[in-house]
Every structure is written in C-alpha cells, then in structure tokens.
Structure 1
Amino acid sequence: MSSTLAQRLADVDARIADAARSAGRDPAELTRIVVTKFHPAQLVVDLAALGVRDVGENRQQEITAERAELADLDGVRWHFIGQVQTKKARAVRAASDAVHSVDRDRLADALHAADPDGNPLDVCVQVNLTDDPGRGGVAPAGTARLAEHIAARCPSLRLRGVMAVAPLGEAPAAAFTRLAASADAVRAVVPDAAWISAGMSGDFAEAIAAGATHLRIGTAITGARPAHG
C-alpha cells in the first residue's frame, strides 16, 4: 500500500476537520466518501485497510465490476454518484448501497421496481444548480415534488436528502446556499431526510460551511485518475 495514499487521506481529513470547526460544526457529523472513479479495485482494498468505509463511483459498469471483484470485502458502503440511465437502474441498485443522483420520477420508479421487496435503498434527490436544463438534476423548483413522488410511490427507496455539484464559474458558497434551500424543501416532505451531499476536492470547505453532511472527494485523496477509454 502506498504511504502517499495514507498521507493524502490524513491531510484531507485534517482539512475537513479544520473546515468543520471553522463553521462551528462537529467533524464527526460529516461522512467523507472517497470517489475512486477509473481507479482499479485494489484502491478500494487499500482504502478499506486505512479505515475508509464509504466509497463512490460514477459509472454503472465500474461499480458493478468492483462489487463483483470485491465481494468478500466487508465494511464498505458503496455510493453511486453519477447519472443513471433508466435502463441501467437494476444494475445500479444491485451494486449500490446509496444512489445520490435521482433526478426524475422515471428513474425513481425504475430503481424501486428493480427490487421492490428488498432492503431499502438510500437515495438523494439530485438538484441542478445551473441554468442548463441538460445537466443532471431536477430544477430547484421541482425538488419537493420529486421528493413527494419518491415518498409516496417508491416504498423501497429511503429518501435521505439532496445532492448537487457546484457549477463552474460561480462561487461555490452561493451555489451551496441554494442547495441548502432545496434541502429544506425535501425535509418538509420527509423530515429525517437530512443528507446534503455536496463538496468535492476543490470546494468541500464551502460545502461544509453551507451544511453539507456528505463530501465526495476524489483526486485530493486518490491522486490523478488513470487514463480511460
């Protein structure tokens, strides 16, 4: 195992703790998800040996392959954080403990239909903080209505909160303030849906200040991503 990986993990965790204290928050409230996008499955093994319990993937093919390869690895929760095609909902649900990117009724319905009687799947409503309707996420004005649909129509999904990516070209703090408003709208529907999945390697301090509970951090911990096809 690379000592560099351990050092990067320790450095990021120290920065997270500093940001939490600066915001008047308890670092223990935060869940750090290590995004292993495009890295080999061995990285997850190495991270688990360092005490990492939450990892994230962006692509269905990768999370499916890694879960199969690491079937004997205990104690790790797998978070799917990428866009989900409805036709891949069954595979995503089978490989994930949480899906952060539910942004439309049809996807919620497909994830529920994939295993309606199975263990509840934790999900977040993804909110689009840009003006581009082609980006992933529901518009902020539609957040509560999607939450209502999940709560009423998809009993095998456990609505946990909201997720978003800060837009390029905008101060992250302003974007995350808007996400906090969407989080309030979801909690008005499901009061215990307290997750705010926000903040990546470059902006997690701003996300923490705005109330984020789940941080999705990749390259600051894993290093540069390998080339991929």
Structure 2
Amino acid sequence: MTPPVDASESSLLAARLSAIDEKIAVAAHAAGRSAEEITRIVVTKFHPASLVRDLYELGVRDVGENRQQELSAKQDELAALDLRWHFIGQGQTNKAAAIRRSAGVVHSVDRDRFADALHRAADGDDRLDVLVQINLTDDPGRGGAAPAQAVALAEHVLALPSLRLRGVMAVAPLDEEPASAFARLRDVADGVRAVDPSASWISAGMTGDFVEAIAAGATHLRIGSAITGPRPDRG
C-alpha cells in the first residue's frame, strides 16, 4: 500500500483541482459550450496511488496514465474504486493485453497492428473504447498516424468488433500555435465522423493549451501537474 497524502497536500490538491475546473468552465462559456460536455482527465504519471485515492474523494472519476506498468499497478491497487482509467501513452503490441485488462479507454491507437493486438486481447463480449491518435508534427517518428491516414485507420478499427471507435486524440506540436494545431485536428475529426458519426470525441489539450483545445471542440482534456502538483523525484 502507498502512504497516505497528508492534510495540507490534500488541501492544495483540492485547490488546484477547483482552479482548473473553474478555468475549464470559463473557457467553455467563451466558446459557447457547456462545461458538462467536457471530460477532465487527471494524468497521475509517477504519482502514488494514494494521490489517485485523494482525487477520487474530491470527485475525480477519470484518470490517465502513460505507462502500462503504472496503469496496471494503480488499477490493481484501486480496483474497488469506481474509476475510469485512460491509457494515453504510446502502446506496444506486446503490452496490449495488459493495457486492455486495466484501461477503460485507450487514446493512442496509432497503427493497425496495435489495434489488432488490442482486439486479440478481448475477453468475452466487452468492447474497449479507443481513439485514433493523430501526429500533428512533420516528424514521422512521433506517435500517431499521419492526418491523411486517419480515416483508413478509423475504418480498420471499425472492422474489429471488440473495439468501439470513439474519436481522435493528438498533442499540439511545440513549434505551432495550439489554436492552429487543434483546428487541423478538428478537420481530421470531421473526416473520421464522416465514416462513423458516433466517433465524436476529441481528446486534446493539456495544462498549457486546454483553453485553445476547448475552443476547437475538445471533449476530453488530459491535465497533469496543474492538478497533481510536480511529479515526484524518481531518483
């Protein structure tokens, strides 16, 4: 078991969460949207499971992890809590079964082989919610499918009955204005919805750019240190 978070840390956690939720509400209002249509995912990378438990007590139900090992460990420890676990890191085919056992949503389906591996790991009739990850940079080595390949990948996912296509995900490039990047993602999302109208999720926006993401139609935000505080020293 991980050690509990002390009272002062819990108070700071609550304050940070409240501040972010207020900013989300303001940004949604400015965009002519309702904050209720936006899911705030708290990314707890490198933080202990006890922090996730404190977040749960504050009403958080959607938690994100980048690494399979950390996702699996925290989900096992906190299995009694009604949490929805989002896997948002780069997925490896040899870890697909472990990811599927622990995650309720996989945001990072970026190639046919990973989608196939998640499908092969299905247990029973359960369907796994997945998003097609889009690479908005010019670097083919970065995670995500090229925008021009998004529809083909979406169609591949749709052919796998154990997966449920929910939409698209992307990270804004560091060398581009977030508003411009997210506008391009919105165009890709429109193309995916043309082949599956129910694939309406847009996972975009982190601490530094979630306001622009909301303006572009993001439905899911992935926010870490602005809520959790600095990541613990791993050394």
Q: What CA distance in whole angstroms lies between the structure 2 residues aligned with 1:11 and 1:129?
A: 29
Which position in structure 2 is the counterpart of 1:186? 192
Per-residue CA deviations over 1:53-110 (Å, capped at 9, x if unaligned) read 100000000000111111222x210000000011000000001000000000000000
2:125 matched to 1:114?
Answer: no
* 2:180 alignment partner AA: A
Which position in structure 1 is the counterpart of 2:213? 207
Which position in structure 1 is the counterpart of 2:29? 21
Write the mapping of 1:115-130 to structure 2, written as runs, cut at 5 A. Answer: 115=122, 117-130=124-137
Which position in structure 1 is the counterpart of 2:230? 224
User: How big is the shift at 1:226?
Assistant: 0.8
Contact persistence 1:116–1:155 (CA under 8 A): no
User: How big is the shift at 1:156?
Assistant: 0.4
User: How big is the shift at 1:116?
Assistant: 5.5
* 2:44 alignment partner AA: T
2:148 to 141, 147, 151: 141
Q: What CA distance in whole angstroms lies between the structure 2 residues aligned with 1:228 and 1:195?
A: 33
Q: Which runs of 5+ in 1 are unaligned?
A: none
* 2:210 alignment partner AA: F
Q: What CA distance in whole angstroms lies between the structure 2 residues aligned with 1:91 and 1:169?
A: 34
Q: What CA distance in whole angstroms lies between the structure 1 residues aligned with 2:18 and 2:223?
A: 13
2:24 matched to 1:5?
Answer: no
Q: What CA distance in whole angstroms lies between the structure 2 residues aligned with 1:212 and 1:196?
A: 5
Q: What CA distance in whole angstroms lies between the structure 2 residues aligned with 1:117 and 1:184?
A: 32
Contact persistence 1:9–1:221 (CA under 8 A): yes
Which position in structure 2 is the counterpart of 1:34? 42
User: How big is the shift at 1:223?
Assistant: 0.5
* 1:90 alignment partner AA: A
Which position in structure 1 is the counterpart of 2:4? none
Q: RMSD of aligned C-alpha atoms? A: 0.9
Q: What CA distance in whole angstroms lies between the structure 2 residues aligned with 1:78 and 1:67?
A: 8
What secondary structure is seen at the aligned counterpart in 2 of 1:90? helix
Q: What CA distance in whole angstroms lies between the structure 1 residues aligned with 2:234 and 2:204?
A: 25
What secondary structure is seen at the aligned counterpart in 1 of 2:47? coil
Contact persistence 1:82–1:101 (CA under 8 A): yes
Q: What CA distance in whole angstroms lies between the structure 2 residues aligned with 1:228 and 1:92?
A: 23
Q: What CA distance in whole angstroms lies between the structure 1 residues aligned with 2:74 and 2:22?
A: 28
2:59 to 29, 45, 51: 51
Deviating above 4 A after TM superposition, structure 1's stretches of 4 or more consecutive aligned residues are none
What secondary structure is seen at the aligned counterpart in 2 of 1:19? helix
Which position in structure 2 is the counterpart of 1:90? 97
Name the % identity.
69
Q: TM-score, normalised by structure 1?
A: 0.97
Q: TM-score, normalised by structure 2?
A: 0.95
* 1:51 alignment partner AA: G
Q: What CA distance in whole angstroms lies between the structure 2 residues aligned with 1:186 and 1:193?
A: 7
Which position in structure 2 is the counterpart of 1:171? 177
User: How big is the shift at 1:8?
Assistant: 0.3
Q: What CA distance in whole angstroms lies between the structure 1 residues aligned with 2:14 and 2:93?
A: 37
